[in-house]
Amino acid sequence: GAWIDSGSFLTGDILEKAMTYDIFTPKFKTVKSEDASRGKWVNGIWFSNGGNILFNFVYDSLIYFWRNHNRAVEYLAVDYILWTAYNNLTDVKKLIDSIPYNNENIRLLNNHLHDTYDRDLYEEIIKVNQIHVINRHQKYPIVDRNNNETFYGYLISGKLE
């Protein structure tokens, strides 16, 4: 199965590739200090086969929380649940550590959404990333100052594959 956050855009055969692993998420060698996952995963983008120990742990943790608290779980709390599993369950640590580094420029397409669409640049972007995180809180122009369609215009019109 897959958990794909609404701010994500997938290209290429990433679904088929991801499902060849017991568990898969974007994973980075270079980590920003503010990254709660320390580059080991991207909260909101996961692929796995059924019965995964990590997702069972997350599910049980959330059910436990909701039985004791009548409120929504903060978004980053899921990262802390994941860290708890990673640091305390050997099988979870092995699973996450077995994920190869991938999609390390996950925000590259997002950085060009305001730019005039360029097919060659798009081909370069999707060559190195098949998972793209789009900032859904930012507004992007559909056309540039010269009335040329932007990357964002292509994205929302369904022209990007």
Q: How confident is the model at residue 131, as a pLDDT?
A: 96
Q: Is the dihedral of CA 141, 4, 89, 16 positive or negative?
A: negative
- Say how many CA atoms lie within 13 Å of 20 toward its Cβ: 5
Under-50 pLDDT residues of the chain: none
CB 160, CB 154: distance < 8 Å: yes
Could you tell me the pTM of the whole model? Answer: 0.87
Q: How confident is the model at residue 43, as a pLDDT?
A: 86
Q: How confident is the model at residue 33, as a pLDDT?
A: 65
Residue 48, exposed/middle/buried by CB under 10 A (0-12, 13-18, 19+)? buried
Q: How confident is the model at residue 82, as a pLDDT?
A: 94
